[in-house]
Amino acid sequence: MLKIKNLAARIGGNQVLKGIDLEVKPGEIHTIMGPNGSGKSTLGKVLAGHPAYEVTAGEVYFNGKNLLELTADERARAGIFLGFQNPIEVPGVSNSQFLRLAYNKNAEANGQDELDPLEFDDFIQGKLKLVKMDSDFMDRGLNEGFSGGERKRNEILQMSVLEPKLAILDELDSGLDIDALKVLGEAVMALKRPDRALLVITHFPRILETIKPDYIHVLYSGKFVLHGGSELALELEAKGYDWIQAENQSGRR
């Protein structure tokens, strides 16, 4: 599904990614962990097509398409979803207006029927239940005045509406209390399907108790320095990231 080869990227003069290799198959859950500043969020943004990042080397193929040739919206319509660490507030644009427009743009691209406001209202009710979100939120401005937790719920709501093939969730756990984390973790698991892959970017291992990864990749200074299965999360929980930093700085790996 997703094949990343030797990917390098920079923003401004700062080379953030320095050669990433990763392959993700349908149905798999991959987790990317690492200390702050290691390049985790950058990887998510580069895959989603943020125009501020410049790819300086490597290639990315998604279901046979050269992802790097597509704009952010083309990637989204091809099935890539990025759940933002800090979802943007867009006052004046109602959540329902935005979600329906996004749904219809994707439906149109995939040859499905568009939904009118009434149909969409029916469609969204089950999704709201999944993330335990009040339907009042649909009439409010997009993330306008939403708390951190409400914004994250809204991200997973958008994921459930857009039904992506690959969902990249960037720091879903930041700004969430334990209960909300559980609700959203379970919602994400409920959206797991054999043909859908997840790329979970996180600093803390806690979310992996609910979203159990098949693979964990540890990113340090723009490169993967460690790969493992879900057991690696326990090790990182116990030891933190300092030892990875120490080993890499002393050049033993």
Nearest residue to 21 via CA among 51, 61, 73? 61
Q: How buried is residue 126: exposed, middle or buried, by Cβ count under 10 Å (0-12/13-18/19+)? A: exposed
Nearer to another protein, 92 or 194 (CB): 92
Minimum CB distance to another protein, residue 92 (Å): 3
The token duo for 131 is 């993330």
Q: What are phi and psi of 49, to 5 degrees?
A: 95, 35
Residue with Cβ nearer another protein (171 or 232): 171
Closer of 163 and 214 to another protein (Cβ): 163
Q: How far is the CB of 84 from another protein (least distance, A)?
A: 7
Detail the DSSP E strand segments found in 90-165: 90-94, 141-142
Provide the minimum distance between the beta carbon of 158 and another protein in the complex, in angstroms, as a whole number: 6
Query: CA-CA distance, 130 to 183, in Å (whole number)?
Result: 8
Closest approach of another protein to the CB of residue 42, in Å: 13
Nearest distance, CB of residue 167 and another protein, angstroms: 12
Q: Shortest distance, CB of residue 106 to another protein, whole angstroms?
A: 5
Quick one: 31 or 143, whose CB is closer to another protein? 143
Q: Which residues contact 9 (CB under 8 A, 6 or more apart)?
A: 15, 16, 17, 42, 46, 53, 54, 55, 56
Residue 100 near residue 117, CB atoms below 8 Å: yes
Q: Quote the CA–CA distance of 36 and 203 in Å, as a whole number.
A: 7
Kindly tell me which of 94 and 230 has the beta carbon lying closer to another protein.
94
Residues at the contact surface with another protein, assessed by CB under 8 A:
48-52, 71-73, 75-77, 81-82, 84, 87-88, 90-93, 97-98, 101-102, 105-106, 109, 141-142, 158, 162
Cα 122 from Cα 234, distance rounded (Å): 42
Toward another protein, which CB reaches closer, 10 or 50?
Answer: 50
